[in-house]
Every structure is written in structure tokens, then in C-alpha cells.
């Protein structure tokens, strides 16, 4: 049942800053099976967003490889959708919520009825059916993020990649959206990869957690989360194993933390 | 790694391409001048250069340049004083705003050139007519922008100043003008090219002294080499005016906090 | 309602201020309407018996206005002027926006053309007219061409700026969802640049108007500008005033139409700006 969908091997990424090379990511190797939920956690500034951009083909990989369904990633793959951290700037201000969510579907050339249905369903699952004709600037930050998520959902990617999607949403909404992730995975078999600062969230949602550490970044450890399913906000979080896993990950992150200094490239 | 060479190469690219563009234009011009047969319609580059050289040697030319620049500058300064004063009044007083609103809204989009005939009639082909046209051309946009600038000032600041017992004059000088200065600066900069246009139009059509009327004389006597020479001169003047205006804007913005270094 | 004494005085003071503001509104409205009307009346009655050669009675000006433009010279002069103006402006916008998009997207092309654009745009637009007159005479087509060329630059430059300033995250989003180049252009670059494009288009409108009038005054037999200058030259002061008034009205109308179009097209932008400034 589990077939590997995403394979990352010895991925490294360097930037050129003022002519010198700065290595952000040293060597990452992990894989993601279809239908898995994988969280990527690590200290601030370690390069999680850079990793996501490499995996979604928005930036090039310096060395190593990343493959999706066997094909190398050298441009945004059709099977992936990315929800950005800076959601306010990723929504088109001249389009209503409904048109924003519809945007990726135009390109897919779906029959209108199917596109309509997808948009309606996506907005309903993030709880924004009322906001169809509003403009992004009329919505709060959390609502805008939900529109960005709905947009990705309407696209029905095989792999949904999210960069701190729930960071600026209130706690109640966050729990709802976390459960939404679980529901999407169960209903559509979508693989989900998300970067998060919230360790509790990573433990609650994931099948595995990839912990990044050190500079340049490497995989400190991949932690298996074998909490029972279906997960539940109250009972799962109250479990003994939950707290242990959370502690383990927290300590891993702390061990791999970077000193707070600017890095000189060579 | 060879860092400096790589960045050096990248920085040089715009300049190289730009030079290429200029060269292409000059080549096209020269080629065009040999193809166009109607007498001297598109004069060859050396001919224009010669005419330019001739102009530089003439005292009258430099007088014309100074006159045109002078008319533009004087008009700009007068428009600034009157425009800012008007704008401050409109921005600070509800009464003035309401009373003048319809009139200003109607007059503002009208280009000054429409009253050129009247100005010519009343003031004749003089420098004063040129200054008048320039003032008419830029005064209202400056006033409008100043009013917007005044309105953008946080009322808390004004009330604070008043509660400190500052008198109206001081508030004007220390709170209102500095607060509106970014808008005023922008308006002055945007107005600068218009002053030059108006000064030239006053010369071309109204006979006001300066490059404008010299250009018309060249045109009516069919001297295309001189026409092109004058146009080149005007282009250079235009660049100078814009550069000067940019400087002025920066000076005025010096007052405004957002322009201080560290932003 | 309020707790400490300080807040209660503030509440009272703001309430009083609001009340004063409300009671002022009818007076302000009266001023808004009344002052222009008064000014017009003052001009009318003040000039009724004027013998000043330069400022004839308003009544005579109005009469001359009606005699000339409605509808004696309407077809022969007003329509051609307006027609040339509109045609030249639309051409300028079409070329300016297309070229602006091209230059905004292609760095090398921009680098090549930028010095030329910067220089030519610094030339006062009206100064280009003598070149056209000398080289191509002054038929109607030439005039339209000259006006268009002179007015291209503001909208061209602002289009370039708008395209370059397109929010990078929007473009990355387009890449994530694999929009084609044309889709990116149509759905992202153009809407994102539209506020800037409109700003430049407004300046181009004003330039086109000025150049149109100047071109007519420089040597044309027909057109509002031509007639007005002719009147001035032959001391037909009333005719000159009639021309001035008509030109003023046309300038105002052109601006008005533009503003209305802009308000429709940029409704999203104006709304977003208002929301942003409300903080």
C-alpha cells in the first residue's frame, strides 16, 4: 500500500551571496510515502522554507536529487501545490475569494460545473463559504491563509506542501484546520508535507517527523509517530506517548540549534 | 571563487547594452538621413553637430537658454509659494475647502495652454507672459498635493502642538509644513518638467523670448539642422531640470522622518 | 460607560466636537454650492457693461460660444480636434503599454532602450512638433502621429515600472500552479501593473491634450485650437474666449471620463488602499 512518492537523496542547496557561496542545506536524505503526512521541524532560520522551495521546484537544487513519482524535480511539478507562509502576498488582490480559489483550475481546463463544485467544496471545508465575493484585503490574516489553503485544495494535488500554514490563525481555528488536513488525507489520499514551528502540531498530525538541525542543515533524525488513528484533538493529545514524542522532538531541535551569529560564506 | 569579477560583469551589462542602444540609434539616424531625400528633412549627424557647435558659439543662444530656464524657474517658484499657501489653507480649513472645492476641481484638470491666447493678448510676447503661463500650469497641482499632504498629518500631532501652547504660526512652521513636505516635494518634482514645457510653449506659440521662439524661427525658415540642434538642447535642459527637481525633493524630504537613513 | 474622570472629559469633548461637525455640514454644503454660483453671477453681472477690450461681458461670450460651437463649427472643427486627440491618445496607450510590458519583462531590451527613452522623454513634448512639421508637413495623419509619439512616454515608463514591481510572490504562486507565460502575463502582470499604468496614462492624457492644441495653433486651418488662435490674432476677443471656454470644458471632460474609467477598472485597488489607510 505504501509506495514512495517523494524521494530526497543527499540534497544540498547553496546560494551565491555577493559572489561567495553560502551553503544553507548540507545533506538531506528522506522519503515520503504516498498518503503520508510528514512534518518538517527545526530551529528558526535553518532553511525549512528553502527546502520547500527546492522540493516544489521553485528553486534549483545545488547537488543531490529530489524525485516525485520517479521523475526528477526541476520545475514546479504538476502533482504538487504549495501554500506559502506569506499568504497575504500570494493572493491576487484584484480577485475575489472565489476567483482566487478558482485561479489554478482555469489552467486545468475543467468543465465549468466541476470547477464550480471544487471551488465550493474547497471553500466549505475551510469554513469560508460566506466570503465568496469578498476581496482578500477585506479579510483577516487568518481568513486569507484559509483562502490560500482552499486554493491549494481546489487544485487537488497529489502532494500538498504547506509552509507554516496555521501560524497566524487562532487556536480554535488551528485545531479545525489540523483536522481538515487529516480529513483530506483520508478522503483524497493526498500526501501532505508541512513545515511547522508548533511541535505539538507536528506530533498530532504526522506519520513521521523530519527534524532538521545544524548549519548547514542536515537531518538530525526522522521520528516515527505511531500514535493510533484516527487522531483526536483531545484524546490523542492527552496520551502519554504524545508527551514523550513531543519531548523527544523538542530535545532534538534544541540539540541541533544554530548559534545566533551571521554566517560568513567562503 | 572570483567574486569581484563576477559581480563586476553583471554590473557592466546595463551600461554595455545602453551604449549599444545609443549606437544603434545613431546608426539608424545616419542611415535614415541618407535615405530621406526631401531637402535636409532628416539632416545627417555631422550637420546637426555642426549646427550645435554654431549655437554654442553664439551669445544669443546662451541668452535664450538662460531666458527659458529663468522663466521656468521663476514660474516654478511663484507657483510653489502660491500653491503651497493655497494648499495649506484648503487643507487646514473646512470652510476654505468647501468654498473652493468645486472651482478647484473644475480648474485643475485644465491644461494651462488653453489660456495662452488670452495671455498673449494681454501680456504680449514677453517673458512675463511666459512666467504667467508657467504659474498657471503648475500652481493647482502643487496646491492639490499640498492639501493632501496637510490632510495626511496625524491630527494627534496638531492637537499635541496646540496643547503645548504653540501659536498658529509656529504650528504651521514646525508641524504642518514638515508633515506635508513629502507631498510638497513630490509635487514640485512632478511640476518641474511641466514648467519647461510651458516656457517652451510660451516661446513657440506666444513669442516669449527663449529657446521656444528660436525653435519656431528655425522651423519657419526651414533650417532642420537647427531644429534638431535645438531639440537636442531641450532634451539636455529637460534632463537637467529633472535632476535639479529630484535634488530639491530630497532636500525637502530631509525633514520627513521616513526619509532619514535607517529606513 | 467611562471610568476615570480623564476619559469622561475626553468623551464629552469628542462628543461636542462631533456635534459641532454635524451642525457645520449644512453650512459647508451651502458654501460648496453657493461660492461657485456666486462667482459665476459676479462674473456675469460684473462684466455686463464691460468695455475692456480683453474681458468682454460674459453674456457676449456665451452667445459667441453658442454661435460658433453649437453647431456651426461643430462638424468642421470640434469633431476633428476631438477625433485626432482621442485617436492619438489611444494609439499612444496601445503602443506605450505593449512596449512597456515588453521592456518590463526583458532586461536586455530595457537596457538597450532605456537611455534613448530617458533622453527623448526629457524633451518637452511640444518641441517634437517642429521636427514633424519640417520633415513631413502637417497633414492630419502626421498630426495624429506626432501627438501619439509625444504622449507615449509617461504611460510607457509607468508600465515598465508597474510590470517590474509585480509582487514576486504572486509570480511564484503562478509558477506553483504552472500557469503558462501568456496566462502569467494576462492574469498577473497586467492586473498587478494596472494602478501604475493608469497613473502614467493620466499624464499621457494631459500631454496629448497639450500637444494637440499646440499642433493646431502652430499651423492648421481647422480645429478648435486653430480657430482660437486665429481669433486672437485678428482681435476677435469674444471668439477667442469662446474657444478658451470650449477647450477648458473639453479638458475637464477628458479628465472626467478618464477618472470614471479608472474608478471602474481599479475598484479593487481603491478599496484595498482605503482598507490599508484605515489602520
Tell me the per-residue pLDDT of A115-142, one tens digit each, with 9 for 90 and over: 999 999 999 988 899 989 999 989 988 8
Contact C240, C228 (CB under 8 A): yes
Q: What is the pLDDT of residues C16-32, one digit of tens each?
A: 666 666 677 788 888 88
* C37-86 tens-digit pLDDT: 888 888 888 888 878 888 888 888 888 888 888 777 788 888 888 999 99
Chain centroid, CA C196 distance in Å: 14
Check whether residue C96 and residue C132 sit in a common domain: yes
Q: How far is CA A124 from CA A127, A129, A134, A151, C119, in A?
A: 5, 5, 15, 12, 56
Contact criterion met (CB < 8 Å) for A137 and C188: no
Cβ pair A135, A114 in contact under 8 A: no
Q: How many CB pairs under 8 A join A and C?
A: 59
Contact B18 C111 (CB under 8 A): yes
Same domain, C30 and C91: no
Are A90 and A168 members of one domain? yes
The sheet carrying A37-41 orders its strands as: A71-72, A63-68, A4-17, A20-33, A217-224, A208-213, A37-41, A191-195, A159-163, A80-83
Q: Is position A93 within any domain?
A: yes
Query: Same structural domain for residues A91 and A71?
Result: no
Please give the helix or strand (H or E) that residue A45 lies within, else none: none
In a domain, C39, yes or no: yes
CA distance B216 to B222: 10
Query: H/E element holding A95?
Result: none
A187 lies in the same domain as A257: no
- Burial class from Cβ neighbours inside 10 Å (0-12, 13-18, 19+) for residue A18 reads exposed
Q: Please check the confidence at residue A265 and state whether its pLDDT lies above 50.
A: no
Judge whether C254 is closer than 8 Å to chain B, CB to CB. Answer: yes
Instruction: Provide the grid cell at C196.
Output: 501604475
* HEC sequence for chain B: CCHHHHHHHHHHHHHHHHHHHHHHHHHHHHHHHHHCCCCCCCCCHHHHHHHHHHHHHCHHHHHHHHHHHHHHHHHHHHHHHHHHHHHHHHHHCHHHHHHHHHHHHHHCCCCHHHHHHHHHHHHCCCHHHHHHHHHHHHHHHHHHHHHHHHHCCCHHHHHHHHHCCCCHHHHHHHHHHHHHHHHHHHHHHHHHHHHHHHHHHHHHHHCCCCHHHHHHHHHHCCCHHHHHHHHHHHHHHHHHHHHHHHHHHHHHHCCCHHHCCCC
Q: Do B41 and C120 touch (CB under 8 A)?
A: no
- Both A102 and A159 in a single domain? yes
Minimal-distance CA residue of chain C relative to A134: C268
CA of A102: which chain C residue's CA is closest? C177
What percentage of residues in chain C have a pLDDT greater than 90?
Answer: 38
What is the structure's pLDDT at A19? 78
Residue given cell 536524505 in the structure block: A29
Residue B227 neighbours by CB distance under 10 Å: 27
Match 549606437 to its residue by C-alpha cell: B23
- Asked if the Cβ–Cβ distance from C232 to B121 is below 8 Å, we say yes
Please give, rounded to a whole number of angstroms, the shortest distance from the CA of B20 to a CA of chain A. 27
Judge if C164 and C29 occupy the same domain: no
The CATH number linked to B169 is 1.10.3720.10
CA angle B258/B261/B263 to nearest 5° reads 55
User: Does B110 contact C118 at a Cβ distance shorter than 8 Å?
Assistant: no
Phi-psi domain of A228 (left: phi exceeds 0; alpha: psi -120 through 50; beta: other): beta
Name the minimum distance, in Å, from the CA of C129 to any CA of chain B.
Answer: 10
Whole-number CA gyration radius for chain B: 24
Burial C109-118 (b: 16+ CB within 10 A, else e): ebbbbbbebb
B4·A20 Cβ contact <8 A: no
Are A20 and B3 an interchain contact pair (Cβ–Cβ within 8 Å)? yes
How many CB atoms within 10 Å of residue A89?
Answer: 16
Per the model's pLDDT, the better-predicted residue between A189 and C156 turns out to be: C156
Q: Same domain for C242 and C105?
A: yes
Residue A99 has pLDDT above 90, yes or no: yes
Are A214 and A261 part of one and the same domain? yes
Q: Locate the chain A residue with the closest alpha carbon to C169.
A: A90
- Indicate the pLDDT class of residue C8, thresholds 50, 70 and 90: very low
What does the pLDDT read at residue C3?
43
A18 lies within 8 A of chain B by CB: yes
* Cβ within 8 Å, pair A18-B7: yes
Does residue A54 lie in a domain region? no
To the nearest whole angstrom, how far is the Cα of B217 from the nearest Cα of chain C?
10
Cβ of C182 under 8 Å from any chain A Cβ?
no
Selected for mutation to probe chain A from C166, C177, C188 (highest A CB count within 10 Å) is: C177
Using CA atoms, how far apart are residues C267 and C273, in angstroms rounded to an integer? Answer: 10
Low-confidence ranges of chain B (pLDDT < 50): 1-4, 258-263
Beta bridge partners, A224, equal A208
The answer to which of A11-25, A99-113, B35-49, C54-68 has the lowest mean pLDDT is B35-49
Specify whether C65 is located in the same domain as C11.
no
Where helices occur in A109-258 by DSSP H, the ranges are: 112-125, 141-155, 171-188, 199-205, 235-238, 240-255
**Touching check for C228 and chain B: CB below 8 Å?**
yes
Residue from A34, A78, A17 nearest A262 by CA: A17
In the predicted model, what is the mean pLDDT of chain C? 85
ipTM exceeding 0.85, yes/no: no
Instruction: Write the CB contacts of B60 (distance below 8 Å, at least 6 apart in sequence).
Output: none
Is residue C47 classed exposed, middle or buried when 0-12, 13-18 and 19+ CB atoms within 10 A define those classes? middle
Selecting from A81, A94, A138 the residue whose C-beta is nearest the C-beta of C177 gives: A81
C271–A135 CB contact, under 8 Å: yes
Number of structural domains chain B divides into: 1
Residues of chain B in contact with residue A19, where contact means CB-CB under 8 angstroms, are 1-4, 6-7
CB A160 within 8 A of CB A192: yes
Residues 6+ apart with CB under 8 A from B129: B119, B120, B123, B202, B206, B208
By C-alpha distance, the chain C residue nearest A157 is: C177
**Which CATH number does the domain housing residue A170 bear?**
3.40.50.300
Range of the domain at A68: 1-33+61-75+209-220+248-266
Grid cell 504660526 is found at B169
pLDDT exceeds cutoff 90 at A154:
yes
Task: Residue C177: list chain A partners with CB under 8 A.
Answer: 76, 81, 103-104, 107, 155
Q: How many domains does chain C have?
A: 2
Q: Is residue C52 part of a domain?
A: no
Rounded mean pLDDT, A257-264: 55
pLDDT at C250 over 80: yes
| Chain B CB within 8 Å of residue A264 CB | no
- CA B139 centroid distance within chain: 12
pLDDT tens for A178-221 read: 998 898 888 888 999 999 989 999 999 999 999 998 888 888 88
CA angle C19/C22/C24 to nearest 5° reads 110
Q: What is the pLDDT of residues C93-103, one digit of tens each?
A: 999 999 999 99
Which domain does B233 fall in, by range? 48-259
- If one counts the domains in chain A, the total is 2
A203: in domain: no
Helix (H) or strand (E) holding C9: helix C5-46
Residue A10 in grid coordinates:
543527499
Least confident residue range of B38-42, C131-135, C183-187, C245-249: B38-42
Is B111 within 8 Å of C213 when comparing Cβ atoms?
A: yes
Spatial CB neighbours of B192, under 8 Å, sequence gap ≥ 6 = B76, B241, B242, B244, B245
pLDDT of residue B259: 40
Q: Are C91 and C32 in the same domain?
A: no
Task: Collect all residues with Cβ–Cβ distance below 8 Å to A53 and sequence separation of at least 6.
Answer: A59
pLDDT at C130 over 80: yes
**Could you tell me if C131 and C261 lie in one domain?**
yes
Query: In whole angstroms, what is the distance from residue C193 CA to residue C191 CA?
Result: 5
Give the number of other CB atoms < 10 A from CB of residue A261.
7
Length of chain A (residues):
266
Could you tell me which chains touch chain B, where touching means 3 or more CB pairs under 8 A? A, C
- The mean pLDDT value of chain A amounts to 88
DSSP C65: H
Which of B256, B134, B139 has its CA nearest to residue B188? B139
State how far the alpha carbon of C29 is from the alpha carbons of A254, B88, B94, C32, in Å: 67, 20, 11, 5
> Is C20 found in the same domain as C62?
no
Q: Taking chain B, what is the end-to-end CA distance rounded to the nearest angstrom?
A: 33
More confident residue, C45 or C89: C89
Give residue C240's domain range.
Answer: 58-277
CA distance A127 to A175: 13
Contact state of A135 with C180 under an 8 Å Cβ cutoff:
no
Residue C162 lies in a domain: yes
How far is the C-alpha of C185 from the C-alpha of C172, rounded, in Å?
13
Amino acid at each position: 500500500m505504501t509506495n514512495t512518492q517523494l524521494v530526497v537523496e543527499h540534497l544540498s542547496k547553496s546560494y551565491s551571496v555577493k559572489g561567495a557561496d553560502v551553503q544553507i542545506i548540507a545533506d538531506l536524505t528522506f522519503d515520503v510515502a504516498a498518503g503520508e503526512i510528514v512534518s518538517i521541524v527545526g530551529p528558526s532560520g535553518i532553511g525549512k522554507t528553502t527546502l520547500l522551495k527546492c522540493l516544489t521546484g521553485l528553486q534549483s537544487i545545488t547537488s543531490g536529487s529530489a524525485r516525485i513519482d520517479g521523475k526528477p524535480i526541476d520545475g514546479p511539478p504538476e502533482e504538487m501545490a504549495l501554500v506559502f507562509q506569506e499568504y497575504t502576498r500570494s493572493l491576487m488582490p484584484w480577485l475575489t475569494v472565489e476567483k482566487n480559489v478558482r485561479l489554478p483550475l482555469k489552467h486545468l481546463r475543467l468543465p465549468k460545473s466541476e470547477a464550480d463544485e471544487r471551488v465550493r467544496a474547497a471553500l466549505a471545508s475551510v469554513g469560508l463559504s460566506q466570503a465568496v465575493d469578498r476581496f482578500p484585503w477585506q479579510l483577516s490574516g487568518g481568513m486569507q491563509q484559509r483562502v490560500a489553503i482552499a486554493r491549494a485544495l481546489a487544485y487537488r494535488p497529489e502532494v500538498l506542501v504547506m509552509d507554516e500554514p496555521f501560524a497566524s490563525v487562532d487556536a480554535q481555528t488551528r485545531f479545525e484546520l489540523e483536522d481538515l488536513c487529516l480529513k483530506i488525507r483520508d478522503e483524497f489520499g493526498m500526501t501532505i508535507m508541512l513545515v511547522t514551528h508548533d511541535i505539538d502540531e507536528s506530533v498530532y498530525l504526522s506519520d513521521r517527523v523530519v527534524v532538521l538541525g545544524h548549519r548547514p542543515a542536515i537531518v538530525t533524525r526522522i521520528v516515527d509517530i505511531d500514535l493510533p488513528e484516527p487522531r483526536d484533538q483531545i484524546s490523542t493529545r492527552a496520551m502519554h506517548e504524545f508527551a514523550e514524542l513531543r519531548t523527544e522532538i523538542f530535545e532534538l531541535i534544541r540539540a541541533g540549534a544554530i548559534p545566533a551569529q551571521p554566517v560568513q560564506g567562503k | 571563487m572570483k567574486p569581484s569579477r563576477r559581480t563586476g560583469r553583471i554590473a557592466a551589462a546595463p551600461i554595455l547594452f545602453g551604449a549599444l542602444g545609443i549606437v544603434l540609434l545613431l546608426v539608424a539616424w545616419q542611415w535614415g538621413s541618407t535615405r530621406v531625400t526631401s531637402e535636409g528633412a532628416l539632416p545627417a549627424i555631422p550637420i546637426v553637430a555642426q549646427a550645435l557647435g554654431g549655437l554654442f558659439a553664439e551669445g544669443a543662444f546662451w541668452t535664450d537658454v538662460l531666458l527659458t530656464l529663468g522663466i521656468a524657474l521663476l514660474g516654478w517658484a511663484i507657483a510653489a509659494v502660491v500653491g503651497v499657501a493655497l494648499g495649506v489653507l484648503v487643507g487646514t480649513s473646512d470652510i476654505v475647502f468647501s468654498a473652493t472645492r468645486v472651482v478647484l476641481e473644475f480648474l485643475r484638470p485644465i491644461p494651462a495652454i488653453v489660456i495662452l491666447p488670452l495671455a498673449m493678448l494681454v501680456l504680449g510676447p514677453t517673458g512675463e507672459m511666459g512666467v504667467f503661463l508657467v504659474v498657471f500650469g503648475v500652481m493647482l497641482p502643487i496646491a492639490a498635493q499640498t492639501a493632501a499632504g496637510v490632510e495626511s498629518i496625524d491630527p494627534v500631532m496638531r492637537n499635541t502642538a496646540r496643547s503645548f501652547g504653540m501659536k498658529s504660526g509656529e504650528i504651521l512652521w514646525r508641524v504642518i509644513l514638515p508633515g506635508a513636505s513629502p507631498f510638497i516635494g513630490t509635487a514640485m518634482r512632478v511640476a518641474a518638467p511641466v514648467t519647461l514645457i510651458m516656457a517652451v510653449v510660451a516661446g513657440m506659440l506666444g513669442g516669449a523670448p527663449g529657446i521656444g521662439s528660436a525653435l519656431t524661427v528655425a522651423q519657419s525658415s526651414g533650417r532642420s539642422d537647427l531644429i534638431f540642434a535645438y531639440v537636442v538642447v531641450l532634451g539636455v535642459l529637460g534632463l537637467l531640470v529633472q535632476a535639479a527637481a529630484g535634488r530639491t525633493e530630497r532636500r525637502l524630504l530631509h525633514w520627513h522622518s521616513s526619509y532619514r537613513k535607517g529606513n | 460607560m467611562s471610568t476615570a474622570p480623564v476619559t469622561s472629559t475626553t468623551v464629552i469633548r469628542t462628543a461636542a466636537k462631533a456635534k459641532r461637525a454635524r451642525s457645520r455640514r449644512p453650512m459647508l454644503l451651502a458654501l460648496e454650492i453657493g461660492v461657485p454660483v456666486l462667482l459665476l453671477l459676479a462674473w456675469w453681472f460684473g462684466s455686463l457693461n464691460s468695455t475692456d477690450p480683453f474681458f468682454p461681458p460674459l453674456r457676449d461670450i456665451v452667445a459667441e460660444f453658442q454661435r460658433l460651437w453649437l453647431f456651426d463649427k461643430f462638424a468642421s472643427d470640434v469633431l476633428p480636434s476631438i477625433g485626432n486627440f482621442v485617436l492619438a491618445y489611444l494609439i499612444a496607450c496601445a503602443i506605450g503599454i505593449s512596449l512597456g510590458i515588453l521592456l518590463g519583462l526583458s532586461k536586455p531590451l530595457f537596457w538597450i532602450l532605456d537611455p534613448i527613452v530617458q533622453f527623448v522623454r526629457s524633451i518637452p513634448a511640444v518641441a517634437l512638433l517642429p521636427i514633424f512639421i519640417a520633415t513631413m508637413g502637417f497633414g492630419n495623419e502626421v498630426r495624429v502621429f506626432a501627438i501619439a509619439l509625444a504622449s507615449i512616454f509617461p504611460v510607457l515608463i509607468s508600465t515598465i515600472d508597474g510590470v517590474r514591481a509585480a509582487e514576486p510572490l504572486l509570480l511564484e504562486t503562478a509558477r506553483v500552479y504552472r500557469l503558462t507565460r501568456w496566462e502569467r502575463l494576462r492574469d498577473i502582470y497586467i492586473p498587478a501593473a494596472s494602478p501604475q499604468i493608469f497613473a502614467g496614462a493620466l499624464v499621457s492624457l494631459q500631454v496629448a491634450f497639450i500637444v494637440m492644441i499646440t499642433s493646431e495653433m502652430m499651423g492648421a486651418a481647422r480645429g478648435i485650437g486653430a480657430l482660437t488662435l486665429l481669433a486672437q490674432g485678428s482681435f476677435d476677443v469674444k471668439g477667442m474666449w469662446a474657444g478658451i471656454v470650449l477647450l477648458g470644458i473639453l479638458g475637464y471632460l477628458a479628465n472626467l471620463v478618464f477618472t470614471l474609467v479608472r474608478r471602474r477598472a481599479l475598484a479593487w485597488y481603491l478599496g484595498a488602499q482605503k482598507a490599508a489607510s484605515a489602520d
